[in-house]
Amino acid sequence: MIEVKKRDRESPEGLIRRFSKRVQQSRVLMKARRSRFWTKDKSKTKRREEALYKVRIRKEIEKLKKFGRFDDESLKDVKRKMAG
């Protein structure tokens, strides 16, 4: 935690300038920006399950397209069936 106390006869602008300098020197902002969008990697098992789910969905969609029954509603039905 960065703390800056006002000195005698120091202007508010000077205090802000000194605070900003201390924040930059501590690299707090750089660390926060670097970790801002970081997400934990998925496990190998989770990635495999997702890939298999996508393959099953694609197969079902191709089958429906061959029969001429594919539309938005049937896509929802397929996804609901695969999830459950």
What ranges do the domains of the chain cover?
Answer: 9-38, 44-83
How confident is the model at residue 12, as a pLDDT?
94
- For residue 27, the 8-state DSSP code is T
How confident is the model at residue 74, as a pLDDT?
85
Query: Per-block average pLDDT, block size 10, for the chain (84 residues)?
Result: 91 95 92 90 95 92 89 84 76
- For residue 46, the 8-state DSSP code is H
> Where does residue 64 rank: exposed (0-12), middle (13-18), buried (19+ CB within 10 A)?
middle
How confident is the model at residue 11, as a pLDDT?
95
String of b and e for 33-54 (b: at least 16 CB within 10 Å)?
Answer: eeeeeeeeeeeeeeeeeeeeee
How confident is the model at residue 44, as a pLDDT?
97
Tokens of 54: 């996508």
How confident is the model at residue 84, as a pLDDT?
67
